[in-house]
Amino acid sequence: MYKLTGVTKEYQKGRQVVGALQGVDLTIADGEWLSIQGPTGHGKTTLLQMLGGLDRPTSGKVEFGANGSDVDLAQLREAQVTKIRADQIGFIFQTFNLVPTLSAQENVETALVPQHVHPATRRARAAQALADVGLADRARHLPSELSGGQQQRVAIARALVKQPTVLLADEPTGNLDEGTRDEIIGLLQKLWEDLHLTLVLVTHDSQIARRAQRIGLMKNGKISIRQDTRKAPATPA
């Protein structure tokens, strides 16, 4: 799904240059769940932005694709990156990022606008996506009329209604209590399995990180793999 080679990202802050990514080499397989942990300010969100084509690296390659049709998100024209993002990449965030003046249903529908889906189809798909996250009866509610856990469910429906291949999640349970956190992670795990998503999940929570097949640790703008359960431990003869 992804192959990153020598990815760096520098931010200019006044006269100061911050090296947020300092040479990331990383391969992510189709359908994999990779968790990313690491101390604050060490480049986790910056890495997700590169994976999502929300920003470009200062140097390096971000190859994305399936079936040998890889493209380099670092080099692609902006319109093409936007199209890939609209069709194939779903995002969820710690703060949900719903539009406060739109209902749950309308928030989910916005994800289908760039795809020029017929309005009737758009409504039906958004309603189904809300039902899939257990919120069929909340479609007309505004975000302010929903609990944190429900708002995150709406955000998950919005991310998945376009049927993406990749889901990028940046501390999706950071603002939730423990019980709600477990519900949301349970839902994400089910959707990951059912939809064969490639899931990259940034979290400070070790209990959640451990559910993934691999855990990467971001430190000083570099990633190292700390756990890989895809390789079954050798069984003694």
Ligand X SMILES: Nc1ncnc2c1ncn2[C@@H]1O[C@H](COP(=O)(O)OP(=O)(O)OP(=O)(O)O)[C@@H](O)[C@H]1O
**Chain positions contacting Mg ion, by CB under 5 A:** 44-45
* Distance of closest approach, residue 48 Cβ to ligand X, in angstroms: 8
User: How many Å apart are CA 53 and CA 51, to the nearest integer?
Assistant: 6
Nearer to ligand X, 46 or 105 (CB): 46
Closest CB 174 distance from Mg ion, rounded Å: 9
To the nearest whole angstrom, how small is the minimum distance from the Cβ of residue 94 to Mg ion? Answer: 8
Q: Which is nearer to Mg ion, 47 or 129 (CB)?
A: 47
Judged by beta carbon, residue 19 or residue 148, the one nearer ligand X is: 19
For residue 146, report the phi and psi dihedrals to the nearest 5 degrees: -120, 150
Return d(Cα 64, Cα 110) in angstroms, integer: 25
Q: How far is the CB of 16 from ligand X (least distance, A)?
A: 9
Amino acid at 7: V
- The residue (of 13 and 118) whose beta carbon lies closer to ligand X is 13
Q: What is the DSSP string of 89-143?
A: EEEEETT----TTS-HHHHHHHTTTTTT--HHHHHHHHHHHHHHTT-GGGTT--G
Q: How far apart are CA 6 and CA 107, in angstroms?
A: 37
What does 42 interact with, of ligand X, Mg ion, none (CB < 5 to 8 A by kind)? ligand X
Tell me the HSE value of 133 on the side-chain side, using a 13 A CA sphere.
29
At closest approach, how far in Å is the CB of 74 from ligand X?
Answer: 17
Q: Facing residues of 27 across strands?
A: 3
Q: Which is nearer to ligand X, 19 or 31 (CB)?
A: 19
Residues lying near ligand X in the complex (CB under 6 A): 11, 13, 18, 20, 38, 40-46, 218
Sign of CA dihedral 87, 155, 129, 101: negative
- Which among Mg ion, ligand X, none contacts residue 11 (Cβ within 5 to 8 A by kind)? ligand X
